């Protein structure tokens, strides 16, 4: 992993730089492909800020942490990065398994062969999430998208009084699903 460490409003320290590099090299084991890490360590009044951006093949992860101690900011940012990397790997793994299970479902096999050869644990698990959706307009829902960790939000459109879904598209824009009248 290529690591660049930048100091902002802070005297450059070899110890801090090596600390960040050692921690990031441990995270490198989680990545499948080579990546580049840009680290910005800065101080604003009493806040010590660690910003880390990892860019790789089909991967871009950002995190930022502020505390009163630079080492704890770095540790918290790296913990957050590790969770995001694992979450990203799990999404990729689930996406690939979903494709395989769809293909398995399309194959025509005799009943006794299909029941014994297909492992039930390879089936994707369906996560059920009960939500309470409140009336709001589309603009308010788009602002709420920045606050929720999911890529979608379900709400009752206050103008039409119907259930709508606002989702984040792959290109970063938002899409709206609404029922026909």
Question: Comparing 65 with 87, which gets the higher pLDDT?
Answer: 65
Window from 40-54, 71-85, 114-128 with minimum mean pLDDT? 114-128
- Distant-in-sequence contacts of 97-105, Cβ < 8 A, 24+ apart: 97/122, 97/124, 98/124
Burial class, 127, CB count within 10 angstroms (exposed 0-12 / middle 13-18 / buried 19+): exposed
Q: Please, are residues 39 and 4 in contact by the beta-carbon 8 Å criterion?
A: yes
- Confidence band (pLDDT; 50, 70, 90) for 115? very low
pLDDT in tens, 136-150: 888 888 887 777 777
CA separation for the pair 31, 28 (Å, rounded): 5
Report the predicted TM-score, pTM, of the whole model to 2 decimal places.
Answer: 0.52
Q: Please, are residues 175 and 152 in contact by the beta-carbon 8 Å criterion?
A: no
- Confidence band (pLDDT; 50, 70, 90) for 111? very low
pLDDT at site 124: 74
pLDDT in tens, 152-168: 888 899 888 899 998 98
- Confidence band (pLDDT; 50, 70, 90) for 121? low
Q: What is the mean pLDDT of residues 53-62?
A: 80
Domains of the chain as residue ranges with CATH: 2-91 (3.30.160.100), 135-177 (3.30.505.50)
CA separation for the pair 99, 103 (Å, rounded): 6
Q: What is the mean pLDDT of residues 126-133?
A: 72
pLDDT in tens, 37-52: 899 999 998 899 999 9
């Amino acid at each position: 992993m290529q690591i660049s460490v930048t100091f902002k409003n802070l005297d450059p320290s070899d110890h801090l730089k090596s600390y960040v590099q050692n921690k990031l090299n441990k995270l490198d084991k989680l990545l499948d492909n080579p990546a580049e890490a840009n680290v910005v360590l800065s101080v604003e009044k009493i806040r010590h800020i660690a910003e880390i951006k990892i860019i790789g093949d089909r991967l871009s992860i950002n995190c930022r942490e502020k505390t009163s101690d630079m080492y704890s900011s770095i540790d918290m940012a790296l913990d957050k990065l590790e969770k995001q990397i694992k979450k990203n790997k799990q999404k990729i793994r689930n996406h690939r398994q979903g494709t395989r299970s769809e293909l398995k479902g399309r194959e025509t096999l005799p009943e006794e062969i299909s029941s014994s050869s297909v492992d039930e644990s390879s089936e994707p698990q369906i996560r059920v999430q009960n939500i309470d959706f409140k009336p709001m307009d589309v603009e308010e829902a788009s602002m709420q998208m920045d606050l929720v960790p999911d890529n979608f939000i379900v709400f009752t459109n206050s103008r039409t009084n119907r259930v709508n879904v606002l989702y984040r598209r792959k290109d970063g824009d938002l899409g709206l699903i609404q029922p026909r009248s």
